Amino acid sequence: MGPEGGGGRPVILLHGLFSNAHVNWVKFGTAAQLAAAGFHCLMPDLRAHGASAAPHDPAAYPPDVLARDLEALIAHLALTDYDLVGFSLGSRTSARAVIAGVRPRRLVLSGMGLEGLAGWARRQQFFLDMLDRFPAIRPGDPAYAAQQFLKTMGTDPAAARLLLGTMEDTAPEALSAITMPTLVLCGDKDNDNGSADRLAATLPDARRAVIPGTHMSSVTEPAFGAELVSFLTA
């Protein structure tokens, strides 16, 4: 478990691919905004990321392992009334866990579009190709930024590749299981995971919010935390 902040209502925050809880939630003040609004932030480092274990044993990476890890965390903490926020991979993990039966009061899917869930195979192949060519990708290559971010974060490429192999596509009709109030939050220049508008339109009870930024920069914006606070306190 990563750092925690605040002393009130529990909210689980799941970071993005190759990142960690500190960079996604603490560094740019998002967790502080939530804590000031009365939330207790639970910010784990996902398997193969940050301070969490990054084994090279394929047996440590069964299908949907991150969703299973989230289910185990909720059970371990005996949480029954909580909110759930994901960014990018964290959003994908959150959606898969909700489809499997996890029931937060409110859900935030940020940095995510419809094709990042129902159409994941194409995005997955992009990252697998990057890892297969790591660390030799040169500037100008579409995968260069992802390679450099992985290097900067110190994420283990072998463990990351095993983890990517656990992630299956999500059928569009499965998204009907996401029935709780949901915020789909994306930067105005973020189409990395497809269309956030189409995702919001597909979900039973979702609204769309737009903040400034690309996929990488939107989480650095004060507006990111402000939208989370607004939605979770409504």
Sequence-separated (6 or more) residues with CB below 8 Å from residue 211: 185, 186, 187, 188, 218, 221, 223, 224, 227
Sorted by where each begins, the domain ranges of the chain are 4-119+169-232
CATH class of 4-119+169-232: alpha beta
Question: Distance from first CA to last CA of the chain, Å, rounded?
Answer: 28
pLDDT given at position 91: 98
C-alpha 61/C-alpha 136 separation (Å) is: 26
pLDDT given at position 2: 46
Using CA atoms, how far residue 213 sits from 29, 49, 221, 222, 233, in Å, is 16, 24, 8, 11, 24
Q: Phi then psi for 30, rounded to 5 degrees? A: -65, -45
pLDDT given at position 6: 57
Tell me the three-class secondary structure of 183-226, residue by residue: EEEEECCCCCCCCHHHHHHHCCCEEEEEECCCCCCHHHCHHHHH
C-alpha 16/C-alpha 139 separation (Å) is: 23
pLDDT given at position 49: 98
pTM of the entire predicted model: 0.96
pLDDT given at position 5: 60
pLDDT given at position 4: 58
Cis upstream peptide for 63 (omega within 30°) = no
The pLDDT averaged over each successive group of 10 residues in the chain (234 residues) is 67 98 97 95 98 97 98 97 98 98 98 95 94 96 96 97 95 96 98 97 98 97 98 96
